[in-house]
């Protein structure tokens, strides 16, 4: 079974507070990207269109070679624990998960109830779900319901980009990153996949890393895509435990 977890499931029923619009356009999302209610509308709309999964920037297959270096050895004793922060309805982490050959556990979290319930119903009959190898949890990136030093690999694909949109976005981003670092094991890696350029994102990560006094090392590289968009993988490696 998983390492001890301060698990909580909050199921919000907020349909009365939701604006009466069925559509969540790109501009709606752009303007409300930090808000849970926006994302709930977004996922509801896409599910009503019959969409099974939605990925930001890249899909797993686009970058799986770059992720191989973070996979565990086959002969690892402890189960490899993977956390996806802000999973949405993407199949990125579950595909990564299925490529891991060792014993493993995956937690996918999102603050959107609609995203999580969609993933739960999609995975209801899969063996991994029945074994509790994959769990879908409603949680907030700035307050993770996990004990410290739990995860070997933490992934954030496009989540911090949404967190940064809050009015006090910079502070909340620092909270979110600190939480991710907290739940990371020693020698673990925290990956952020984003379209935000290194001038801004890497600078933010370096500033945060400096506060940790040599316990973190940071890096980034550009992802090669066949189309012209620029994406980056930012990595934080926890070298020493805090």
Partner 1 sequence: MVKDLKDELRPLILKHSEEVREFRQKHGSKVVGEVTIDMMYGGMRGIKGLICETSVLDPDEGIRFRGHSIANCQLVLPKIPRGEEPLPEGLFWLLVTGEVPTDDQVKAISREWAKRADLPSHVVTMLNNFPPTVHPMAQLSATLTTLSSQSHFAKAYAEGKPKKLYWEFVYEDAMDLIGKLPIIAATIYRNLFRDGSPVCPIDVKKDWSWNFTDMLGYDDPMFTELMRMYLTLLGDHEGGNVCSHTCHLVGSALSDPYLSYAAGLNGLAGPLHGLASQEVLLWLNKLQQDIGVDVSDEEMHAFIWDTLQSGQVVPGYGHAVLRKTDPRHLVLREFALKHLPEDKLFRLVSQLYKIVPDILIEQGKAKNPWPNVDACSGVLFTHYGMTEMSYHTVLLGISRALGCMASMIWSRALGFPIERPKSMSTTGLKKLCHSN
Give min distance, CB of 105 to partner 1, in A.
Answer: 27
Cα(120)–Cα(78) distance, integer angstroms: 26
Give min distance, CB of 55 to partner 1, in A.
Answer: 6
Give min distance, CB of 146 to partner 1, in A.
Answer: 25
Residue selected from 40, 112, 113, 194 as contacting partner 1 according to rule CB under 8 A: 194
Q: Give me the torsion for CA of 112, 116, 122, 125, rounded to 10°.
A: -170
What is the spatial order of strands in the sheet that 104-110 belongs to?
134-138, 104-110, 80-85, 151-157, 184-194, 231-238, 216-223
Nearer to partner 1, 144 or 205 (CB): 205
Any long-range contacts for 119-126 (C-beta under 8 Å, 24+ apart)? Answer: 119/87, 119/89, 122/52, 123/94
Nearer to partner 1, 63 or 100 (CB): 63
Considering only 91-99, 122-130, 175-183, 191-199, which stretch makes contact with partner 1 by CB under 8 A? 191-199
The DSSP code sequence of 100-161 is --SSEEEEEEES-HHHHHHHHHHTTT-HHHHTTSEEEEE-BTTB-SS-SS-EEEEEEESHHH
Size of the site for partner 1 (CB under 8 A): 39
Considering only 71-79, 97-105, 112-120, 224-232, which stretch makes contact with partner 1 by CB under 8 A? 224-232
DSSP SS3 for 203: helix
User: What is the pattern of x (binds partner 1, CB under 8 A) and - over residues 21-60?
Assistant: ----xxx-xx--x--------------------xxxx---
Q: For residue 202, give the H/E element and its range.
A: helix 198-211
Residue selected from 217, 239, 241, 242 as contacting partner 1 according to rule CB under 8 A: 217
Nearer to partner 1, 4 or 228 (CB): 228
Angle at 67 between CA 152 and CA 149, to 5 degrees: 10
Residue selected from 78, 230, 240, 241 as contacting partner 1 according to rule CB under 8 A: 230
- Which residues from 55-84 bind partner 1, rule CB under 8 A? 55-57
- Which residues from 155-174 bind partner 1, rule CB under 8 A? 158, 161-162, 164-165, 169
- Which residue from 181, 182, 183 is spatially nearest to 218, judged by alpha carbons? 181
Summarize as ranges the residues that interact with partner 1 (CB under 8 A): 25-27, 29-30, 33, 54-57, 158, 161-162, 164-165, 169, 194-200, 202-203, 206, 209-210, 217-222, 226-230
């Amino acid at each position: 079974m998983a390492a001890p977890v301060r698990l909580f499931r909050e199921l919000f029923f907020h349909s009365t507070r939701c604006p009466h619009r069925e559509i969540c356009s790109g501009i709606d999302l752009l303007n409300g990207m930090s808000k849970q209610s926006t994302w709930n509308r977004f996922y509801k709309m896409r599910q009503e269109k019959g969409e099974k999964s939605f990925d930001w920037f890249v899909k797993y297959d686009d970058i799986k070679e770059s992720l191989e270096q973070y996979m565990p050895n086959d002969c690892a004793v402890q189960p490899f624990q993977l956390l996806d922060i802000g999973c949405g309805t993407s199949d990125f982490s579950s595909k990564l998960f299925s490529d891991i050959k060792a014993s493993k556990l995956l937690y996918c979290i999102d603050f959107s109830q609609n995203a999580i319930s969609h993933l739960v119903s999609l995975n209801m009959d899969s063996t991994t779900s029945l074994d509790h190898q994959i769990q879908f949890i409603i949680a907030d990136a700035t307050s993770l319901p996990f004990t410290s030093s739990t995860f070997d690999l933490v992934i954030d694909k496009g989540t911090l980009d949404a967190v940064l949109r809050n009015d006090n976005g910079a502070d909340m981003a620092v909270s979110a990153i600190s939480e991710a670092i907290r739940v990371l094991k020693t020698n673990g890696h925290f990956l952020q996949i984003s379209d935000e350029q290194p001038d801004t994102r890497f600078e933010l990560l370096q500033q945060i890393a400096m506060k940790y006094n040599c316990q973190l090392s940071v890096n980034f590289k550009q992802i090669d895509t066949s189309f012209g968009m620029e994406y980056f993988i930012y990595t934080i490696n926890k070298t020493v435990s805090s």
